[in-house]
Amino acid sequence: MLEFLAGLLMAFAIGAFCRWFDIPSPAPPKLVGALLVVAMTMGFLLTERLIGVR
């Protein structure tokens, strides 16, 4: 859970940094692309939890 929160905090920090300094965001500009990133992340986390690799 700590890793998830750290990743979420880092994602928001990178997004805020890019917005503040007017740097193109490394994220997809469309909702479908952003949902794809979320789906891939959730799939990675779910698979890690199911197979129990740490």
Total domains in the chain come to 1
Residue ranges making up the domain that contains 45: 25-54
Q: What is the pLDDT of residues 1-54, one digit of tens each?
A: 788 788 778 878 887 787 788 877 666 677 877 787 888 888 887 887 888 765
Cβ proximity of 15 and 27 under 8 Å: yes
Determine, yes or no, domain membership for 31.
yes
* pTM listed for this prediction: 0.49
Q: Judge whether 53 lies within some domain.
A: yes
- What's the pLDDT at 27? 67
Q: How far apart are CA 2 and CA 20, in angstroms?
A: 27
**Given this model, what pLDDT does residue 44 score?**
81
Residue 37 falls within a domain, yes or no? yes
Query: Domain for residue 1, yes or no?
Result: no
- Please tell me the distance from the alpha carbon of residue 26 to that of residue 13, in angstroms, as a whole number: 12
Q: In angstroms, rounded to a whole number, what is the distance separating the alpha carbons of residues 42 and 46?
A: 6
